[in-house]
C-alpha cells in the first residue's frame, strides 16, 4: 500500500513538473494558474483547506519534501497556513509513529534491542513530554524523531501535543515568510525587504534562541545535579 502511495505521489509530481514546463513556464501562464488557484480557494475555502491539509500530510510522510510551509503561507496567509502546517505535521508524525509501532516494533526489538532501550531510557530520564518537546524545539530531524519514537512505548497523546507545540516556532517563521511573498503579477516589483521585515527578524531570532537557551539550561541543571550527588568515601 505504501509503495503504491509513493508511486502515485511521484507520478503526480512528475505530471505537475511537466505541466509547468515548456510553454507553461511563461509568466502569463503562471500568473493565470495562480489566479485560478486563488479563485478556487476563495470560492471553496473549506474544501480547499481540507484538500491542502491532506496533501500536506501525505507529502510530510516522504523525507526531504521541505519548503511546503512557505508555499502554504503564500497561498493561505499566516493564520490559516500556520494552522494547516501545524496540524498536518502533527498528524503525519503520529501516522509515522503508529506505522512503525504496529508493523516494525517487534522487528526492532529483536534486531536492535539495545538501541530501543537506549531511546526509551532517554525519554524516561527527564520525562517523555520534556524530552520530546526539547527535541522539537531543538529542530531535531523530523522524520528521525517520528520513526524512533515509534519503536518505544511513548504515549501517542504526549507525542502529538509535544509535536504540535514544539514545531510552532519554526512553522511561524516559514509560513510568515511565505505570506509576505508577492503574487506572480508583482514579482517584477519584488523587494526583499517586503519579506524580511522586523516581524521575520524577531520571530527568527526567537527560534534561533530557543535551542541555545534549552542547551545552556540543560547543561547547567546537569552540572548542578552532578554537584549535588554525594561522593563515596567523602566526609
Instruction: Kindly report, residue by residue over 122-142, the tens digit of the pLDDT.
Output: 777 777 888 888 888 877 888
Judge whether 90 lies within some domain: yes
Judge whether 4 lies within some domain: no
Q: Which residue has the higher pLDDT, 132 or 230?
A: 132
Q: Nearest to residue 115, comparing CAs of 144, 85, 86, 76?
A: 144
Q: Which domain holds residue 66?
A: 44-182+192-226
Q: Domain tally for the chain? A: 1
Tell me the CA end-to-end span of the chain in Å, nearest whole number.
66
DSSP 114-164: HHHHHHHHHHHHS-HHHHHHHHHHTT--HHHHHHHHHTS---HHHHHHHHH
Judge whether 31 lies within some domain: no
**Average pLDDT of span 185-191:** 55
Q: Max Cα separation, the chain?
A: 84
Judge whether 8 lies within some domain: no
- Of the pLDDT bands very low, low, confident and very high (cuts 50, 70, 90), residue 35 is confident
Q: What is the DSSP letter of 78?
A: H
Rounded to whole angstroms, the Cα distance separating 216 from 18 reads 49
Residue 210, pLDDT score: 61
Q: Which residue has the higher pLDDT, 230 or 116?
A: 116
Rounded to whole angstroms, the Cα distance separating 197 from 229 reads 49
Q: Nearest to residue 120, comparing CAs of 92, 78, 155, 68?
A: 155
**Average pLDDT of span 110-123:** 76
Judge whether 59 lies within some domain: yes
Judge whether 28 lies within some domain: no
Judge whether 119 lies within some domain: yes
Judge whether 1 lies within some domain: no
Amino acid at each position: 500500500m505504501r509503495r503504491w502511495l509513493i508511486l502515485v505521489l511521484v507520478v503526480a509530481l512528475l505530471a505537475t513538473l511537466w505541466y509547468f514546463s515548456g510553454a507553461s513556464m511563461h509568466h502569463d501562464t503562471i500568473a493565470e494558474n495562480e489566479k485560478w488557484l486563488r479563485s478556487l480557494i476563495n470560492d471553496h475555502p473549506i474544501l480547499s483547506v481540507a484538500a491542502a491539509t491532506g496533501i500536506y500530510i501525505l507529502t510530510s510522510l516522504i523525507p526531504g519534501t521541505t519548503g511546503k510551509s512557505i508555499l502554504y503561507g503564500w497561498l493561505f496567509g499566516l493564520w490559516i497556513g500556520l494552522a494547516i502546517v501545524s496540524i498536518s505535521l502533527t498528524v503525519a508524525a503520529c501516522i509515522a509513529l503508529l506505522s512503525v509501532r504496529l508493523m516494525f516494533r517487534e522487528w526492532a526489538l529483536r534486531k536492535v534491542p539495545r538501541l530501543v532501550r537506549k531511546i526509551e531510557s532517554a525519554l524516561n530520564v527527564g520525562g517523555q513530554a520534556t524530552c520530546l518537546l526539547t527535541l522539537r524545539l531543538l529542530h531535531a530531524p523530523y522524520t528521525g524523531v517520528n520513526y524512533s519514537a515509534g519503536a518505544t512505548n511513548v504515549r501517542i497523546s504526549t507525542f502529538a501535543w509535544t509535536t504540535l507545540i514544539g514545531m510552532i516556532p519554526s512553522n511561524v517563521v516559514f509560513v510568515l515568510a511565505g505570506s509576505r511573498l508577492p503574487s506572480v503579477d508583482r514579482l517584477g516589483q519584488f523587494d526583499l525587504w517586503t519579506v524580511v521585515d522586523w516581524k521575520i527578524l524577531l520571530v527568527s531570532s526567537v527560534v534561533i534562541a530557543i535551542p541555545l537557551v534549552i542547551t545552556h539550561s540543560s547543561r547547567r541543571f546537569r552540572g548542578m545535579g552532578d554537584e549535588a550527588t554525594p561522593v563515596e568515601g567523602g566526609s
